[in-house]
Structure 1
């Protein structure tokens, strides 16, 4: 007999004797024959699609065990780099709060399947319920299935849905509506279901077919033009936790650099003057327009920070640095930051492993990792996010 003591990065339970067991929870008991005896932290998964659907991996954990998993992901990644830091309480988004998702669709057996991909498979789980998506997004699943059926879906398609200020922004990739009947079906769908915008991408970039009013997303109290399929933090609660952590980390500097700024999630929430660098041109255009409309002292630059990270001389001009890179992290930028004299860094990450790697570079350069705030926006998944503060003890 062996007890399950933790959950590994990919979601398997790990026993005291080192065995990995799928869908085991901390406190479960693993018999010598490999049978799992449920323990105090196991719960009945609420969704009929679990564990087949790849949208969730950890619905069998109670909230205490899930929070422990999120924290352990971060502390384990730091430990692998011989680092440690105070880890704060996990900001866990409630059920049914995901405001963006990419679903997959395909025609099979005379009907259209629409949902998340199955675990470790390209097969599509035809979604009949969902406990992570906003109800307004889930309410579009059946109508979208019908629209794709009317459009004569022939090959696999991706459907990205994001909830904006004006309603759902829908981007369908892999379908090109052709002819009058298709155009009428698109318009009827959008009108009937109150869609804010409906766009299609058949490989040549998004083409908007319906947008009665400009679509925006409010960030930092400022409406920002939202490009089709744009990036947004997964939940409003997660965004709020990350923004609060960043603002606490940087304080009230006169000037801040927001690197990998996106649409301005942090840029528009920061005090003082802000320099915002972003590699996606449509995001830069949107952020610049929002800053101009709100008369905010924000300077935007279209800059690929992987090819051309800010130099030490450039970094030293700022009173604080905000860093929010993609999953790959920001190794080259972290190396420059390690040698800079900026007094504080707020690092936001969606990958504890790349964060810990970059943190090791900063610590080796004389920085102190003061604290880490875990954020669980992708409830019941193995995806973990965080915000952290670095300062220089010599300043």
Structure 2
């Protein structure tokens, strides 16, 4: 007796029509009674030798068609769980080797320094010798970083945050703060040899920059925004462009827009008209405010914790459109207030289909229509899914 894999579940397991699960199975694979998988037409040879040990990827065995289907199905399933449906556009997938931001783990073990992603469901580090998701400019730093940490006497476990900024690679090392002249010279020499834009350390008291020959920025909406160490960015420039395009389409050409959870201004600086930007991270909103003011952009940036103090209905009603891009937990309180508002259009960007669907349910129940959803898979071959969606008012509240 055999079964055919018909879909890939949220955690990456293949599922048959009678509910059997199998790890590393693709749609169209055959699952035998003993658990053996016979590859089907959508099962590709994983390109990386570290797969499946490395937790950086869970779905390298899927071809692009089935991976796009997984991204779309994740969103459809989350909506269905809330009794909702919407037109789902074809998934936008970022290409391999395009990640400009990643957090790797580092550990001193057996007289060596290991750097890589953790194994799936484990704290053990896979010491990566290749990577098919990182931008090559970032991956090229891994081996030299091992040698640098070895020289600095790294004896513990920490994290290495890598970001590709306008000026080059931005490195933040957390959990370790080497001191002394020898350490300073080693860091400076490393940065000079490898054209590093900035090198910072953080032992728990905040980031301390050890190397930054010129101010580090990230260009958003044509504006060079100061980039704080470890700041949030969309994972790929390709994925960012897809989300920005969807948001601009969703809101149209408003005179005034509120960008909530604005971060560094990914959407605020790409929107027409006047923009109010609210963000709870102080360093991010100060960067956005300074950059917008320097370029004469019509952006009013406010440091505001939208979980403790969401915009009220009266505040929301002043705008022609709302852009919402909350963290993974979603924006329950802000979505509840937004559900009562009389704003013509809302663009909701989410990195968690489940919390998005929960917030969408609250809005639909109060007279909104979920017009369309654009799935985005910028975390290549992972189970992490993003989206942008458009809501329009059907029955404005009184």
TM, length-normalised to structure 2: 0.99
The reply to whether residue 247 of structure 1 matches residue 248 of structure 2 is yes
1:188-203 correspondence to structure 2 within 5 Å: 188-203=189-204
Distance 1:358 1:34 in 2: 39
Counterpart for residue 301 of structure 2: 300
Counterpart for residue 320 of structure 2: 319
Q: Spell out, residue by residue over 1:284-323, the C-alpha distance to the aligned partner (whole angstroms, 9 max, x if none).
A: 1000011011101111110000011000000000000000
Q: Spell out, residue by residue over 1:202-227, the C-alpha distance to the aligned partner (whole angstroms, 9 max, x if none).
A: 01000000000000000000000000
Q: Spell out, residue by residue over 1:155-200, the C-alpha distance to the aligned partner (whole angstroms, 9 max, x if none).
A: 1010000000000110000111111111110100011100000000
More displaced, 30-39 or 68-77? 30-39
Distance 1:308 1:254 in 2: 25
Partner SS state of residue 148, structure 2: helix
Moved over 2 A (4+): none
How far residue 33 of structure 1 moved from its aligned partner, in angstroms, is 1.9
Counterpart for residue 33 of structure 1: 34
Counterpart for residue 118 of structure 2: 117
Partner SS state of residue 115, structure 2: strand
Counterpart for residue 177 of structure 1: 178
Counterpart for residue 389 of structure 1: 390
Partner SS state of residue 387, structure 1: strand
How far residue 35 of structure 1 moved from its aligned partner, in angstroms, is 1.2
Counterpart for residue 89 of structure 2: 88
Distance 2:118 2:132 in 1: 16
Q: Spell out, residue by residue over 1:324-374, the C-alpha distance to the aligned partner (whole angstroms, 9 max, x if none).
A: 000000000000001000110000000000000000000001000000000
Counterpart for residue 226 of structure 1: 227
Q: Spell out, residue by residue over 1:11-47, the C-alpha distance to the aligned partner (whole angstroms, 9 max, x if none).
A: 0000111011110110001112221111110000000
Counterpart for residue 14 of structure 2: 13
Distance 1:66 1:133 in 2: 18
Q: Spell out, residue by residue over 1:66-108, the C-alpha distance to the aligned partner (whole angstroms, 9 max, x if none).
A: 0000000000000000000000011100010000100000000
Question: Unpaired runs of 5+ in structure 1?
Answer: none
Counterpart for residue 146 of structure 2: 145
Distance 2:235 2:176 in 1: 25
Counterpart for residue 279 of structure 1: 280
1:373-388 correspondence to structure 2 within 5 Å: 373-388=374-389
Counterpart for residue 56 of structure 2: 55
How far residue 394 of structure 1 moved from its aligned partner, in angstroms, is 3.6
The reply to whether residue 99 of structure 1 matches residue 68 of structure 2 is no
Distance 2:310 2:152 in 1: 45
Q: Spell out, residue by residue over 1:124-181, the C-alpha distance to the aligned partner (whole angstroms, 9 max, x if none).
A: 0001000000000000000111111111111101000000000011000011111111
Distance 1:370 1:16 in 2: 30
Partner SS state of residue 147, structure 1: helix
RMSD: 0.6
Matched pairs, number = 395
Counterpart for residue 345 of structure 1: 346
How far residue 377 of structure 1 moved from its aligned partner, in angstroms, is 0.3
The reply to whether residue 212 of structure 1 matches residue 218 of structure 2 is no
Q: Spell out, residue by residue over 1:249-295, the C-alpha distance to the aligned partner (whole angstroms, 9 max, x if none).
A: 00011000000000000000000000000000000100001101110
Distance 1:224 1:33 in 2: 56
Partner SS state of residue 163, structure 2: strand
Distance 2:263 2:6 in 1: 39
Distance 2:273 2:32 in 1: 60
Counterpart for residue 3 of structure 2: 2
Partner SS state of residue 196, structure 1: strand
Distance 1:17 1:367 in 2: 36
Counterpart for residue 79 of structure 1: 80
TM, length-normalised to structure 1: 0.99
Distance 2:392 2:69 in 1: 27
